[in-house]
Amino acid sequence: MPDRAALLRLVVLAVVIAAAGWLATHRAILQPAEIAAWLAALGFWAPVFFLAVYVVGAVVMFPAALLTMAGGAAFGPVWGALLDLLAATLGAGAAFLVARHLAADWVRARVGGRLARLIAGVEAEGWRFVATVRLVPILPYALMNYAFGLTRVRLGPYLAASAAGMVPASVAYTWLGYAGRVAAEGDAGGVRYGLLGLGVLGLAAFIPRVVRRMRAA
């Protein structure tokens, strides 16, 4: 009888390869405006479909910024931000579990020496370190999800800290996506959301410095 764990790894690997291959051959249509148009046609099921696509995208390492902007374009600045944050958190959890239980060797090969820094940070500060590097990433979103799966942080605190740390980026990219949509519709008010999004991204870069100074004081 075949080993169930090995069989599961093969199935997950086949799904990831198939999804990655499809994304690689359809990148031209996977733009925020195109994704938003698809979602608009789904009506009631659009949020569910969006969450599913985002989670799969996180597992196959599709650029999260594009999906987040698509969420803003499709669902607006408020509901879009909430859905984007939920989707990014679920995607982070999915990749975390894949790394922890199925793909540890692959992750170690991709992350390299930066994995030691993550492990040391988690050992020293736990969930606080997760939240901090989510604010100012030392790795891309998708790769960081996998890397944290090889640390000792537990899933619950990891998800909570990730969600808290990803709030600024989720809001910023959502607003940028929404700004792009309304600008394409000829509404000059979209510029405001675009500037606000850029401002939030800039502000997020300073938050860890302020926290470090407060802790040092």
- Identify the band that residue 1 occupies on the pLDDT scale cut at 50, 70 and 90: very low
Cα pseudo-dihedral 158, 163, 165, 169, rounded to 10: 140
Helix (H) or strand (E) holding 159: helix 155-184
pLDDT at 17 over 60: no
On whether the CB atoms of residues 57 and 64 are closer than 8 A, the answer is yes
Taking the model in full, what pTM does it have?
A: 0.75
On whether the CB atoms of residues 204 and 135 are closer than 8 A, the answer is yes
Average pLDDT for 175-188 = 74
- In the prediction, which pLDDT does 163 show? 95
Query: So where are the chain's domains?
Result: 4-216
Average pLDDT for 46-52 = 90
- In the prediction, which pLDDT does 43 show? 76
Bigger pLDDT: 184 vs 125: 125
In the block, residue with structure tokens 């060797």: 105
- In the prediction, which pLDDT does 214 show? 54
Bigger pLDDT: 211 vs 146: 146
C-alpha distances in Å from residue 10, one per residue of 15, 22, 69, 180: 9, 18, 33, 40
Q: Give CA angle at 195 (191, 197), nearest 5°.
A: 115
- Identify the band that residue 147 occupies on the pLDDT scale cut at 50, 70 and 90: confident
| Model pLDDT for residues 51-92, shown as the tens digit of each residue | 998 998 898 888 888 889 888 888 988 899 999 999 999 999
